[in-house]
Every structure is written in C-alpha cells, then in structure tokens.
C-alpha cells in the first residue's frame, strides 16, 4: 500500500470535479488503488488512514448509492462523515454558496456535494479551501464513470481500445463516458436524437483529448450503428431528476431502449451498464437488466472502491 501512495503523491489535496482536470495516469492510479482496496478490504492501516479527519456530505438531490457508498467509504477510512441535506442547512434558507463553502472548510477536511446545477459545484469549489468531490451534477457524474471503468477493467482486463456505446439521453452520464473514455483511450460512441445530444463543446474537447490517448469519440443518431461491435452498452434513465419535459422526452427517446435485439448488435460478450436506478420497460428491458450480460450491480459496488481510493489519495498523508 505504501508504494501505491508514494507513486501518487501529486494527488494529495486534489478535488474531483469532472475528471477533465485529471491526467490519464492520475485516473489510472485511482483505478489501481481502487482495485487494490477491493482485493484487500481488511488491511488494518486502511481503517485508520484518515483518522481524525471529517468529510461533509452535502446533498441537494435524492440519493441511495452515492450517499451510502460515500458515507461507508469515509467511515471505513477512519474519518467522520457529516451528512447534510440541502434543506437542513442554511443553503435551504438562501445562504450564499460562497459563505457555506468557506464555513464548511473551517470545520471539515473535504466536501462531497451532489447538486442540481454544475455551476453550484463550481462556485463551491471556487470558495472552498478543502478538496471538493462531485457526487453528481446536471453536467457530469465522475465517480460513476470511474466505477464503470473499474468494472470494465475487471471484466475485460484492459480499457484502451474498448468500444463503449452509450444509448439514450445525452445527459450527465453520456458526458461522463465521453470524458473518461477519452482519457483512457477508449472508443466512445453516443447515440442520441439530435434534440438530446450531448454538449458539443464537451464532445469537441474529448475528441482532441482522445487523439492523445489513441481513443475516439463519436456522436450519432442511430442506436444500432452505435452498438455495432461494442464491448459494452450503456444507458441511463430517459428523464433525469428535476426535468419537466418528461412525456415529450420519453416519446423522443423510446426508440433508444436497450433491449435484447439491440444487444445482439454488440459483441457476444458485451457488458450492459446502467448507473441505476433503472426504469424497467423504458430505457432498458427487464430481460437485459437482469440478464447474463448485465454488470449493473458490479458498477454499484465499485462506486465504493473508487470513491474510497480518491478520498485516500486526496486526503491521506
């Protein structure tokens, strides 16, 4: 374990906002540490690695996997989690982000935040004097992308050169795959209707980043084209939390459902990925979600390990 920490001394004090700010080698280091932690869960020194520290967990949006896995990660490293609902804090009464960020920084060693708008996270990070960890915004979900990369690594034994097809809304999960795929030399193809395509500015950034890693990023409208020959097929709910155009969006995205027929276009050993919770019968069928190619519960577990690894590197000595 000492060698893992020594080789990543540059990660100390780092925030995780989008993963765009991390180098490919830094991301690989976190994944390596996560895999080591998963294989060695009872190592005594890990249980006290962050002893005496505290981490605030601030949630504006509902959460099961993120909230529980982060709280367990913090506690299992010996730190104290301070869990706050948005409405339970003065933020719910209109206190400026910059005030809350500066106050919390006086009390805790790190801040995990899940919020509606990515701009809120950016404002928090701008004013905080401790590392800030993005537990989901409307723009990106970096720890889910790390968990999924770890899941692919476990099943495929490599990441560079893999083809990942994402089918559905060009939302924060589509953005997450575009970023992590470009960083790790994967070939990411996003299939979305034009009205719900991923942010073209982010896609352009990822295309340039992928040139440096041997990967590629492509956006198409035909889900069958995207899935052809894929090593993994991913999707997400058609309508994300807080969105209001629900029925129109569901109708537009209906043809993008991942079902058994679509999966036949991918490689026979392709994995199915979904960050959960899933709406069975909408973006994915029960047959696929519960089928032998589904790795959704591996993904859910791996959230714990990548979050634990990032906290260890950022807040550890």
Give domain limits for the chain: 2-140+303-315, 142-299
> What residue has token string 């036949």?
264
Q: Please state, as a whole number, how many other Cβ atoms lie within 10 Å of the Cβ of residue 189.
A: 24
Q: Are the CB atoms for 213 and 24 separated by under 8 Å?
A: yes
Say yes or no to pLDDT of 207 above 60.
yes
Question: 142-299: same fold as 2-140+303-315?
Answer: yes
3-class secondary-structure state, position 113: strand
CATH number at 142-299? 3.40.50.1370
Mean pLDDT, the chain, as a whole number? 94
Does the annotation mark 307 as catalytic?
A: no
- pLDDT (tens digit per residue) in 83-131: 998 888 888 788 899 999 999 999 999 999 999 999 999 999 999 999 9
Does the annotation mark 114 as catalytic?
A: yes
pLDDT tier for residue 317 given thresholds of 50, 70 and 90? confident
End-to-end CA distance of the chain: 12
Say yes or no to pLDDT of 222 above 90.
yes
Q: What is the pLDDT of residue 42?
A: 84
Give the whole-angstrom CA distance, residue 35 versus residue 52. 25
Q: List the catalytic residue out of 275, 299, 307, 313.
A: 275
Does the annotation mark 204 as catalytic?
A: no
| Cross-strand bridge partners of residue 167 | 191
Q: What is the pLDDT of residue 216?
A: 98
**Of all helices (H) and strands (E), which one includes residue 235?**
strand 232-235
Q: Please state, as a whole number, how many other Cβ atoms lie within 10 Å of the Cβ of residue 42.
A: 6
Q: What is the pLDDT of residue 291?
A: 98
Longest Cα–Cα distance in the chain: 54
| Cross-strand bridge partners of residue 289 | none
> What residue has token string 């589904």?
294
> What residue has token string 């719900």?
196
pTM: 0.95
Say yes or no to pLDDT of 5 above 80.
no
3-class secondary-structure state, position 264: coil
Give the whole-angstrom CA distance, residue 65 versus residue 72. 10
Give the whole-angstrom CA distance, residue 38 versus residue 287. 29
Does the annotation mark 175 as catalytic?
A: no
Q: What is the pLDDT of residue 264?
A: 98
Q: Are the CB atoms for 219 and 182 separated by under 8 Å?
A: no
**Of all helices (H) and strands (E), which one includes residue 70?**
helix 65-76
Q: Tell me the C-alpha to C-alpha distance, in Å, between residue 37 and each of 11, 29, 112, 158, 292.
A: 17, 12, 20, 18, 26
Contacting residues for 185 by C-beta, under 8 A, at least 6 apart: 24, 159, 160, 161, 210, 213, 214, 215
DSSP-derived letter for residue 7 is T
Surface-to-core class of residue 167, CB atoms within 10 Å of its CB (0-12 exposed, 13-18 middle, 19+ buried): buried
Q: In the predicted model, what is the mean pLDDT of residues 122-149?
A: 98
Q: Please state, as a whole number, how many other Cβ atoms lie within 10 Å of the Cβ of residue 122.
A: 17
pLDDT tier for residue 6 given thresholds of 50, 70 and 90? low
Does the annotation mark 20 as catalytic?
A: no
Q: List the catalytic residue out of 139, 175, 303, 313.
A: 303
Give the whole-angstrom CA distance, residue 76 versus residue 271. 30
Q: List the catalytic residue out of 29, 53, 144, 307.
A: 144
Q: List the catalytic residue out of 114, 139, 187, 274.
A: 114
Q: List the catalytic residue out of 65, 118, 139, 141.
A: 141
Higher-pLDDT residue of 1 and 58 is 58
Separation of CA 114 from chain center: 12
Q: What is the pLDDT of residue 8?
A: 58
Q: What is the pLDDT of residue 91?
A: 82
Say yes or no to pLDDT of 277 above 70.
yes
Does the annotation mark 144 as catalytic?
A: yes
Q: In the predicted model, what is the mean pLDDT of residues 260-265?
A: 98
Q: In the predicted model, what is the mean pLDDT of residues 142-157?
A: 98
CATH number at 2-140+303-315? 3.40.50.1370
């Amino acid at each position: 374990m000492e060698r893992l920490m020594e080789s990543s001394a540059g990660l100390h004090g780092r925030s995780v906002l989008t993963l765009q700010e991390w180098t490919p080698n830094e991301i690989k280091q976190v994944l390596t540490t996560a895999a080591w932690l998963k294989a060695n869960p009872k190592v005594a020194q890990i249980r006290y690695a962050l002893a005496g520290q505290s981490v605030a967990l601030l949630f504006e949006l509902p959460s099961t996997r993120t909230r529980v896995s982060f709280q367990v990660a913090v506690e299992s490293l010996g730190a104290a989690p301070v869990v706050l609902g948005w409405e339970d804090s003065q933020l719910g009464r209109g206190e400026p982000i910059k005030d809350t960020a500066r106050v919390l920084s006086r009390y805790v060693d790190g801040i995990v935040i899940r919020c509606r708008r990515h701009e809120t996270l950016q404002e928090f990070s701008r004013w905080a004097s401790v590392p800030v960890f993005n537990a989901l915004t409307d723009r990106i979900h970096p720890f889910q992308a790390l968990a999924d990369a770890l899941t692919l690594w476990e099943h495929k034994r490599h990441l560079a050169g893999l083809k990942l097809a994402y089918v559905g809304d060009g939302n924060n999960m589509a953005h997450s795959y575009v970023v992590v795929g470009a960083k790790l030399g994967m070939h990411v193809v996003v299939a979305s209707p034009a009205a719900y395509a991923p942010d073209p500015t982010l896609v352009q950034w990822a295309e340039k980043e992928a040139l440096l890693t041997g990967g590629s990023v492509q956006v198409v409208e035909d889900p069958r084209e995207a899935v052809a020959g894929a090593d993994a097929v991913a999707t997400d709910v058609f309508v994300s939390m807080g969105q209001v155009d629900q029925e129109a969006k569901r109708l537009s995205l209906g043809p993008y459902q991942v079902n058994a027929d679509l999966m036949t276009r991918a490689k026979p050993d392709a994995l199915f990925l979904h960050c959960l919770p899933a709406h069975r019968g909408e973006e994915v069928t029960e047959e696929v979600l519960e089928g032998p190619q589904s790795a959704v519960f591996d993904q859910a577990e791996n959230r714990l390990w990548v979050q634990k690894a990032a906290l260890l590197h950022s807040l550890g000595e």
